[in-house]
């Protein structure tokens, strides 16, 4: 009864276009009434408690660092370095897009930020070189999915907080799957270059190469310092976010000298708006999560999937089919906050490692960001490239299929995630 009321309310209100945070609060109210309770103060208390978390403080820090990097020239240096690395290769701009996405993933942790920053720089260049606009925008959007997988990852911070997993361990678990995804997209681009007939190359003089490498070095050091610092225990993920802000400010203001003092107010304002959106969703999801737990919805889900508890692989495939479907109509963060607390008890009963499932769940829902009809990153790509939605979907389709294949590969071969994690963490 409670589970039906929750799902009916969730999807019912969403069809009216109500913002997801408001929908979640309404779900909490409906569950409260279904259980015969009426205590509005409990919802407010749950919302405040849900955001009163030290690990969640990493989110505003990394969002602020991303805004600083975007406006302070750091993102542009990463793209220049990527072009320098593969510019001589036929269709080098596409390869550069993925290399830049991998590097940028170690800075922002946000697929939307990655698509917006890299798309604004690369799409006009790719268009001028004769690349198909839908294909180019689609490829950059596909590459942006790497950002929430490779640390620091904002979705993994949210996930780790919601199900009480080590964020440091989650970060380390995402490194290799993120790199595998990047390599798979590079291979896909190799064939696209030949199918579409791209022949462009980029050449640099020796002096230009030296200059680009020198200017890129501070930007390239940032992900190394962040990930290395977290792994070595020098700072926590939250402290790493604060470090990223300070580092980005120093580099952009005093090294690149592209960040003016009068820009800082706008940067802080933009970061505050992005953070407020995420944290409102977190607060609302915490409230509905309280009533989901009280109503024993996880137990009902476990009962519904009880026949698959002894068949972990079939259980994983069933859950991932559900997550993929739900990811097509709802954004990443609310999906994690709503369904992680429900699904994790089930997968643990089946003996599935929670860190393995966390990476799989994040990867699956990230693919939802580039899946129609509600892929958030797709709409960012449409805005940056100034093309219609259908044209972008057509361009991204082959890369979407590649990413789904990588998801299935990781599900079928858990050692791709768990092997490197044990090696990195030493346990």
Task: Give the range among 20-29, 164-173, 311-320 with minimum mean pLDDT.
Answer: 20-29
Cis geometry, peptide bond prior to residue 373 (ω within 30 degrees of 0): yes
Please check whether residue 421 is in contact with residue 166, taking contact to mean a CB–CB distance below 8 angstroms. Answer: no
Q: Which two tokens stand for residue 317?
A: 């495939």
Q: Rounded to the nearest 5 degrees, what angle is found at the Cα of 128, between the Cα atoms of 125 and 131?
A: 90
Q: HSE of 169 in the Cβ direction (CA atoms, 13 Å)? A: 16
Model pTM score: 0.86
Nearest to 337 by CA among 284, 389, 380: 284
Q: pLDDT class for 22, splitting at 50, 70, 90?
A: confident
Q: Alpha carbon of 340 to those of 22, 165, 206: distances in Å?
A: 19, 11, 51
Please give the Cα distance from 232 to 236 (Å, whole number). Answer: 10
Question: Which residues form the domain of 62?
Answer: 2-425
Mean per-residue pLDDT over the chain, rounded = 86
**Tell me: the pLDDT tens digits for 117-130?**
888 888 888 888 88
User: For the residues 53-58, what does the mean pLDDT come to?
Assistant: 80
Q: pLDDT class for 2, splitting at 50, 70, 90?
A: low
Cis geometry, peptide bond prior to residue 104 (ω within 30 degrees of 0): no
Answer yes or no: is pLDDT of 37 > 80: no
Please check whether residue 116 is in contact with residue 384, taking contact to mean a CB–CB distance below 8 angstroms. Answer: yes
User: For the residues 122-145, what does the mean pLDDT come to?
Assistant: 90
3 state SS of 49: helix
Please give the Cα distance from 334 to 283 (Å, whole number). Answer: 10
CA R_g for the chain: 22
Please give the Cα distance from 99 to 179 (Å, whole number). Answer: 10
Answer yes or no: is pLDDT of 417 > 90: yes
Please give the Cα distance from 97 to 9 (Å, whole number). Answer: 41
The structure tokens 């610092």 sit at 229
More confident call, 305 vs 214: 214
Per the structure, the count of domains in the chain is: 1
User: For the residues 38-67, what does the mean pLDDT come to?
Assistant: 81
Q: pLDDT class for 353, splitting at 50, 70, 90?
A: very high
Q: Which two tokens stand for residue 245?
A: 């802000």
Q: Return all residues near 111 (Cβ < 8 A) that are at least 6 apart.
A: 144, 145, 147, 148, 332, 366, 369, 376, 377
**Tell me: the pLDDT tens digits for 209-245?**
898 888 888 888 888 888 888 888 888 888 888 898 9
Answer yes or no: is pLDDT of 110 > 90: no
Please check whether residue 392 is in contact with residue 137, taking contact to mean a CB–CB distance below 8 angstroms. Answer: yes
Cis geometry, peptide bond prior to residue 181 (ω within 30 degrees of 0): no
Res 1: pLDDT = 63
Answer yes or no: is pLDDT of 66 > 90: no
Answer yes or no: is pLDDT of 153 > 80: yes
Q: Print the SS3 string covering 311-343.
A: CHHHHHHHHHHHHHHHHCCCCHHHHHHHHHHHH
Buried b (16+ CB within 10 A) or exposed e, 188-216: bbeebbeeeebebeeebeeeeeeebeebb
Q: pLDDT class for 70, splitting at 50, 70, 90?
A: confident
3 state SS of 393: helix
Q: Alpha carbon of 422 to those of 120, 160, 170, 409, 426: distances in Å?
A: 38, 18, 12, 19, 5
Res 149: pLDDT = 93
């Amino acid at each position: 009864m409670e589970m039906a009321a929750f799902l009916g309310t969730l999807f019912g209100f969403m069809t009216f276009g109500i913002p997801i945070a408001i929908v979640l609060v309404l779900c909490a109210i409906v569950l409260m009434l279904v259980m015969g309770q009426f205590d509005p103060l409990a919802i407010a208390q749950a919302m405040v408690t849900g955001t009163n978390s030290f690990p969640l403080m990493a989110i505003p820090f990394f969002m602020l660092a991303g805004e600083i990097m975007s406006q302070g020239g750091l993102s542009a240096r990463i793209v220049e370095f990527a072009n320098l690395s593969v510019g001589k290769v036929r269709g080098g701009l596409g390869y550069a897009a993925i290399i830049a996405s991998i590097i940028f993933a170690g800075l922002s942790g946000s697929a939307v930020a990655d698509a917006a920053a890299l798309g604004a720089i690369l799409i006009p260049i790719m268009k001028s070189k004769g690349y198909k606009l839908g294909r180019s925008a689609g490829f950059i959007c596909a590459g942006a999915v790497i950002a929430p997988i490779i640390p620091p990852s904002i979705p993994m911070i949210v996930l780790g907080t919601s199900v009480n997993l080590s964020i440091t361990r989650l970060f380390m678990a995402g490194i290799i799957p993120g790199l595998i995804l990047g390599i798979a997209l590079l291979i896909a681009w190799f064939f696209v270059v030949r199918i579409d007939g791209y022949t462009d190359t980029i050449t640099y003089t020796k002096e230009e190469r030296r200059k680009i490498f020198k200017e890129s070095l501070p930007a390239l050091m940032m992900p190394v310092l962040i990930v290395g610092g977290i792994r070595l225990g020098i700072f926590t993920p939250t402290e790493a976010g604060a470090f990223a802000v300070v580092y980005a400010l120093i580099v952009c203001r005093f090294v690149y000298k592209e960040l003016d003092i009068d820009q800082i107010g706008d940067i802080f304002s933009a970061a505050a708006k992005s953070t407020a959106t995420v944290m409102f969703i977190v607060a609302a999801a915490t409230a509905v999560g309280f009533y989901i737990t009280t109503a024993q919805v996880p137990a009902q889900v476990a009962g519904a999937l009880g026949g698959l508890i002894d068949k972990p692989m079939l259980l994983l495939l069933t859950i991932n089919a559900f997550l993929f479907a739900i990811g097509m109509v709802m954004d990443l963060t609310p999906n994690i906050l709503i369904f992680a607390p429900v699904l994790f008890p089930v997968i643990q009963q089946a003996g599935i490692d929670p860190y393995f499932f966390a990476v799989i769940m994040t990867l699956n829902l990230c693919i939802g960001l580039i899946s129609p009809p509600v892929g958030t990153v797709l709409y960012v790509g449409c805005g940056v490239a100034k093309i219609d939605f259908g044209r972008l979907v057509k361009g991204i389709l082959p890369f979407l299929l590649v990413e789904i294949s990588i998801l299935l590969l990781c599900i079928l071969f858990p050692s791709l995630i768990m092997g490197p994690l044990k090696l990195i963490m030493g346990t």
